[in-house]
Structure 1
Amino acid sequence: MSTRYLQVAGHDVSGDHYIDGQRIPGKTRFELHCPIDQRLLGTISEGDEEHIEAAIQAAQRAFATWSLLSAAERLPYLERFADEIGKRAEALCAVESNDAGVLLSRMRHGVVPRAKLNITWFARHALELQHRPIDTDQAHHIVKHDPAGVTVIITPWNSPLMLSTWKLGPALAAGNTCILKPPEWAPLTCSLLADAAHAAGLPPGVFNVVQGTGARTGARLVSDFRISRISFTGSVPTAKLIAQSAAANLVPCSLELGGKSPFIVLEDADLDSAAATATLMYRNAGQVCLAGTRLLVHKNVVDQFVIKMRALVDQLVVGDPRDEATEVGPIIHPRQVERVKGFVDRAVACGARLLWGGQPHSFGPQYFQPTLVTDVAQDDEIIQNEVFGPVLTLQTFSSDDEVVSKANGTDYGLGGICYGETSHAQAIAERVRTGFIWVNSFGIRDLAAPFGGIKRSGIGREGGDWSFEFFCDVKDVVIPKKPFRASFSHR
């Protein structure tokens, strides 16, 4: 069977798997629709038992040689991989915008440069992990980071390119071989990644892509005893299923599961800056795990804050994400639109009040109005559960203790944002139980820093040494400083 290609925005994209350095078509296929206008983009191969077995065997064979290379020897391969991503920048931008509804401007100026950096940064950082000496009175310890084995990577539909490369970078740099299972609603840039890896000369089997649904393809991959690591970003229910499968084989999992992050506006905050940042939470149609979706505003400034934010929201451009002027694009799938609308409708039915939005947008059936819901209680569903759409909630507070209590009053703990006089905001930030929190800022990231959440927001950290701690088996080579003589004497 010949490889099938989809034509997306003038670019050829394979709809088939990439296994052991070759394109492999599937016997069964599923349809892929564009979230912008619901047109059919094409059909995608679905991974079955045969494809999964072939991918695992290929990754095992490749691991035997890839794992023996030093970090310095793997570096040229990964630098070429990043270069090939750069050469495909326009295709990656156009395809992900059509496939996932992501803003084209965000792809060009943020995602693709970050995708390249994800590969090169970790490849170079791996050079520092080869030997880490620890000296004690008794011995000289050499701490080594050995490759763990075959790694399964499962990424979500809201940012498939960036999140795939963020995991692939350290996994490959550590010497692991990888099987990537793309999101079924937005798999196409992961397919283009396979083209980039192939052109870069990554040995066959080092990087494989098996497409399909989570229930069928993903479930089979994570339950295999030959898998050494699983890295997943997505929903809590799916993570629980993955963890159950992995537990049967004692496979370590890294789980990044989204959030319900607080956006705190203290009485001494710069309200113009805070309102502008809060409006950013609607970007990517609110489909961002680290967005501050729960606005917690001091009661003495809430009226001013709402007026300032409303003026900015009224100026937001909702429309085609391929237009550089667009600021809010579509929701990924009709099922997700129904989910978002259901949250809002149920909140209103229970007494919540809409300050703006609350309905599907006139631009198209997969667009939803930027929405702000208030008069909600702490235990309401819309406060406690992740909506993952352009929907924010507004609560007020009158004291530091009250805002900390509300900020910590969900089962999530991924991120947060706190606006106020710097020392005051920092003091509050240190009391919020979360994986990270921005003070008077948003979106500042560094690959050397840890990323991840607590509670239902996940297990583990990504970034810097934390990524390698997960993707490696850490080994301590102990060399005594004095001649060692074994003795069975207990005296």
Structure 2
Amino acid sequence: MAAPAPANAFATNQARARVLLDKLKADGIGHHIAGKRVASAKTFETSSPIDKSILAVVAEGGVAEIDQAAEAAHKAFKSWRNLNPDKRRAILHKVADVIEAHADDIALMECVDTGQAHRFMAKAAIRGAENFRFYADKCAEARDGLNLPAPDHWNVTTRVPIGPVGVITPWNTPFMLSTWKIAPALAAGCTVVHKPAEWSPVTADLLPRLLAEAGVPDGVLNTVHGFGETAGRLLTEHPLIKAIGFVGESSTGSAIMAQGSKTLKRVHFELGGKNPVIVFDDADLDRALDAVVFMIYSLNGERCTSSSRLLVQEGIAAEFTARLAERVKKLKVGHPLDPATEIGPLIHERHFQKVCSYFDIARTDGAVIAAGGKPYDGPGGGFYVEPTLVTGGNPTMRVAQEEVFGPYLTVIPFKDEAEAVAISNNVDYGLTGYVWTANMERALRVADDLEAGMIWLNSENVRHLPTPFGGMKASGIGRDGGDYSFDFYMETKNICLAKGSHKVPKLGA
């Protein structure tokens, strides 16, 4: 358990949040297209998961707004693409500075909008600034290529930005994940139409204003709010949009791929996961326990990389699970603006009902609810659930196969290395895997055998921005991070230079 925060920190957060919320409610949330705030005839309301209160009226985008945004991105593309990389670098560094200056307000609004605990959202804006700073420094190398000599020719590769792109982001950590997609796109020289998740539109309304404050030209980032079935579909089908980067559910990714097929859209998907954490009997069990708890119960369990299946070796399973249950029962569920809170309310009533349905699913399948397993009467009366631990599981149960996406962990014992790998791979997903063992030879074997795009050995998920981020199977297509992002947002071009020494074939001579 973390040390308690100062007694006045919660009250201070609430007071500042009230000021921000009053302004949000008065202003509403509009689209941002070509540097202007744009309203819509149709609107919808967004509410807080803390107390179900209405936060703001949100403009709902349709054909007209998506067309305007795509045209604005198309119009701005040539000048942004041709801007000197050093100038683009300076602008994106300024974006990072502006985000850092507003970090506290971003964190508070993210808590109120998503239900995520302040202890995690306090870092979200800083991570967003880091995303822009990292890619700002890569602007100059974005077009770098290779020298591939042949006996009679030099082949030189270069990269050019693909054009206006669509970015569709999720509701769980919306600000950070938006910057994670948008920053490399802008660094590459692309322009963007952003469609944020309808369940968490608040900080997406702030982001284009921060970029404008930093000097990003009009039309480089355009934001259209709305629903996936309408605004999202229109964006993925739009002929001016050359690629779609999407973070969200696997089923939605499948729909987006179909929608973009007519215009041969390039797609990049970071989708769901049912990620294993494997604890062998020779592991450092204290550190493993800390990592297991953190990787499923932080961020309300609403994270694609959460380790929602605990595979623990039979010889230590009873003791390790008992210690785990004690920790789960001590987790502090509470108001997300309280710095002491570790788990806040879930994002939305529909998601709350989904997570709660898995309490009965576990019991029906014959598993045991060792901790939690019911809604929680939290402050404000919002969508709180008890952090849940399921034991007595086996690999075929629905709770071991399906993505719950909440503070919900299923424990599965295993006999040996081969069984651990088999259980891990026997799901539709393949995003991450976590392995705890003192035997590095075994760790490397398991890492090689796991069907997952990212593996952490004796560690929780610790992101390093230059490394590739992405999954296999139903967990996605493509990789984010470092130079890998440029592979998506840019086209590779080969230029062949003849030395004049090769024989040119003659026809009709």
TM-score per shorter chain, which class? over 0.9
- What SS does the corresponding residue of 1:416 show, helix, strand or coil? strand
Partner of 1:343: 358
Partner of 1:390: 407
CA distance in 1, matches of 2:256, 2:167: 12
Encode CA deviations 1:78-114: one digit per residue, 9 max, x unaligned.
1111111112111111111100112212122x31111
Deviates more, 1:377-386 or 1:19-28: 377-386
CA distance in 1, matches of 2:143, 2:33: 30
How many residue pairs match? The answer is 483
CA distance in 2, matches of 1:35, 1:272: 34
- What SS does the corresponding residue of 1:449 show, helix, strand or coil? coil
Q: Following TM superposition, by how much is the alpha carbon of 1:459 offset from its aligned partner in structure 2, in angstroms?
A: 0.5
Encode CA deviations 1:350-369: one digit per residue, 9 max, x unaligned.
21111111101121441111
Tell me whether 1:90 sits opposite 2:107 in the alignment. Answer: no
* Conserved 8 A contact 1:71-1:130: no
Encode CA deviations 1:20-63: one digit per residue, 9 max, x unaligned.
00001111111111011111112100002111111111111101
- What SS does the corresponding residue of 2:170 show, helix, strand or coil? coil
The amino acid across from 2:409 in the alignment is L
CA distance in 1, matches of 2:118, 2:494: 47
From 373, 384, 404, give the equivalent of 1:367: 384
Map of 1:403-414 to 2, 5 A cutoff? 403-414=420-431
CA distance in 2, matches of 1:329, 1:312: 17
The amino acid across from 1:308 in the alignment is R
CA distance in 1, matches of 2:41, 2:60: 8
Partner of 1:269: 283
Tell me whether 1:39 sits opposite 2:48 in the alignment. Answer: no
CA distance in 2, matches of 1:266, 1:329: 31
Partner of 1:134: 147
Partner of 1:4: none
With normalisation by structure 2, the TM-score equals 0.92
CA distance in 2, matches of 1:238, 1:471: 21
Encode CA deviations 1:237-286: one digit per residue, 9 max, x unaligned.
11111000111111100001020000101011111111111111111211
With normalisation by structure 1, the TM-score equals 0.95
Partner of 1:419: 436
Encode CA deviations 1:278-309: one digit per residue, 9 max, x unaligned.
11111121101101100000010011101221
Q: Following TM superposition, by how much is the alpha carbon of 1:8 offset from its aligned partner in structure 2, in angstroms?
A: 5.4
Tell me whether 1:330 sits opposite 2:348 in the alignment. Answer: no
Encode CA deviations 1:105-136: one digit per residue, 9 max, x unaligned.
2122x311110111121121131233334142
* Conserved 8 A contact 1:148-1:473: yes
CA distance in 1, matches of 2:403, 2:423: 16
Partner of 1:112: 125
Q: Following TM superposition, by how much is the alpha carbon of 1:483 offset from its aligned partner in structure 2, in angstroms?
A: 4.2
Encode CA deviations 1:173-201: one digit per residue, 9 max, x unaligned.
11110011011000111111111011112
* Conserved 8 A contact 2:58-2:225: yes
* Conserved 8 A contact 1:293-1:392: yes
CA distance in 2, matches of 1:47, 1:307: 50
- What SS does the corresponding residue of 1:30 show, helix, strand or coil? strand
Partner of 2:8: none
Partner of 2:4: none
* Conserved 8 A contact 1:96-1:188: yes
Matched-pair identity in %: 36
Q: Following TM superposition, by how much is the alpha carbon of 1:137 offset from its aligned partner in structure 2, in angstroms?
A: 3.1
Q: Following TM superposition, by how much is the alpha carbon of 1:431 offset from its aligned partner in structure 2, in angstroms?
A: 1.6
* Conserved 8 A contact 1:122-1:173: yes
Change in 2 beyond 3 A, CA 1:330/1:247: same
Change in 2 beyond 3 A, CA 1:133/1:401: closer
Specify every segment of 5 or more residues in structure 1 that has no aligned partner in the other structure, as ranges.
Answer: 1-6
Deviates more, 1:271-280 or 1:156-165: 271-280
Q: Following TM superposition, by how much is the alpha carbon of 1:149 offset from its aligned partner in structure 2, in angstroms?
A: 0.7
CA distance in 2, matches of 1:124, 1:488: 49
Partner of 1:481: 499
- What SS does the corresponding residue of 1:438 show, helix, strand or coil? strand
Q: Following TM superposition, by how much is the alpha carbon of 1:489 offset from its aligned partner in structure 2, in angstroms?
A: 6.4
Tell me whether 1:293 sits opposite 2:312 in the alignment. Answer: no
CA distance in 2, matches of 1:431, 1:94: 42
From 454, 458, 463, give the equivalent of 2:481: 463
From 198, 206, 209, give the equivalent of 2:220: 206
Q: Following TM superposition, by how much is the alpha carbon of 1:376 offset from its aligned partner in structure 2, in angstroms?
A: 2.7
Change in 2 beyond 3 A, CA 1:8/1:221: farther
From 239, 244, 267, give the equivalent of 2:253: 239
Partner of 1:454: 472
Encode CA deviations 1:341-382: one digit per residue, 9 max, x unaligned.
112212212211111111011214411111111223322222
From 10, 14, 25, give the equivalent of 2:19: 10
Tell me whether 1:176 sits opposite 2:190 in the alignment. Answer: yes
Partner of 1:253: 267
Tell me whether 1:222 sits opposite 2:236 in the alignment. Answer: yes
The amino acid across from 1:317 in the alignment is K
Partner of 2:162: 148
Partner of 1:278: 292
The amino acid across from 1:430 in the alignment is D
